[in-house]
Structure 1
Amino acid sequence: MERLNKYLAHAGVGSRRHCDSLIAAGRVKINGVRVTDLGMKVDPDAQKVFVDDEPVRVEKPVYWVVHKPPGYLCTNHDPSGRPLAMHLIPHVEQRVYTVGRLDEASEGMLLMTNDGELAQTLMHPRYGVEKTYLVLVAGKPTKDDLQRLLDGVWLSDGKVRAKSVRRMKPQGDSTWIRVVLCEGKNREIRRMLAKLGHKVLRLKRVAIGPVLLDKLPKGKARKLSLPELTELKKSAVSAERRVEKVAGEARQNSDEAESQPATKPVPPRHPAPGAPAGRREFVPNPNSGGKPSSAGPRVYVPKPAAKKSPLARPGPGRPGPGRPAGSRPVGGRPPGKKPFGRPPGRGGPGK
Structure 2
Amino acid sequence: MTQDTRGERIAKWLARSGVASRRDAERMIEEGRVRLNGHPVTHPATFVGEGDIVLVDNQPVSAPERTRLWRYHKPDGLVTTHRDPEGRPTVFGSLPEGMPRVISVGRLDLNSEGLLLLTNDGELARKLELPSNGWLRRYRVRVFGVVDEQRLASLAQGCVFEGVRYGPITAALDSRKGDNAWLTVSLREGKNREIRKVMTGLNLHVSRLIRTSYGPFQLGTLLRRELEEVPPRILRDQLPKGETPPAGSRSR
What TM bracket, shorter-length normalisation?
0.7 to 0.9
Measured after TM superposition, the shift of residue 105 of structure 1 is 2.1
- 1:8 corresponds to which residue? 14
Provide the secondary structure at the position in 2 that maps to 1:120: helix
Q: Which of 50, 54, 65 is 1:49 aligned to?
A: 54
Q: Which of 175, 196, 207 is 1:201 aligned to?
A: 207
d(CA) in 1 for partners of 2:30, 2:193: 31
8 Å CA contact 1:10, 1:115 repeated in 2: yes
8 Å CA contact 1:100, 1:184 repeated in 2: no
Q: Deviations over 1:189-232 (max 9, x none)?
A: 01101101122222110011110001111232212233442244
d(CA) in 2 for partners of 1:79, 1:50: 22
Measured after TM superposition, the shift of residue 152 of structure 1 is 2.3
d(CA) in 2 for partners of 1:136, 1:227: 35
Q: Which of 131, 138, 151 is 1:145 aligned to?
A: 151
8 Å CA contact 1:12, 1:115 repeated in 2: yes
- Aligned AA (1:72): L
Indicate how the Cα distance of structure 1 residues 227 and 176 shifts in structure 2: closer, same or farther if over 3 A, else same.
Answer: farther
- 1:189 corresponds to which residue? 195
Unaligned ranges ≥5, structure 2: 1-6, 245-252
Indicate how the Cα distance of structure 1 residues 103 and 29 shifts in structure 2: closer, same or farther if over 3 A, else same.
Answer: closer
d(CA) in 1 for partners of 2:85, 2:42: 32
Higher RCO (CA-CA < 8 Å; seq separation 6+): 2
Measured after TM superposition, the shift of residue 133 of structure 1 is 0.7
Cα RMSD after superposing both structures: 2.7
**Higher-Rg member (1/2):** 1
Runs of 4 or more consecutive aligned structure 1 residues displaced over 6 Å after TM superposition = none
Q: Deviations over 1:4-58 (max 9, x none)?
A: 2211111112111112223344433332333323333322x14333334433212
- 2:225 corresponds to which residue? 219
d(CA) in 2 for partners of 1:110, 1:133: 12
8 Å CA contact 1:88, 1:220 repeated in 2: no
Q: TM-score with structure 2 length normalisation?
A: 0.80
Q: TM-score with structure 1 length normalisation?
A: 0.59
The percent of aligned pairs where both chains have the same amino acid is 37
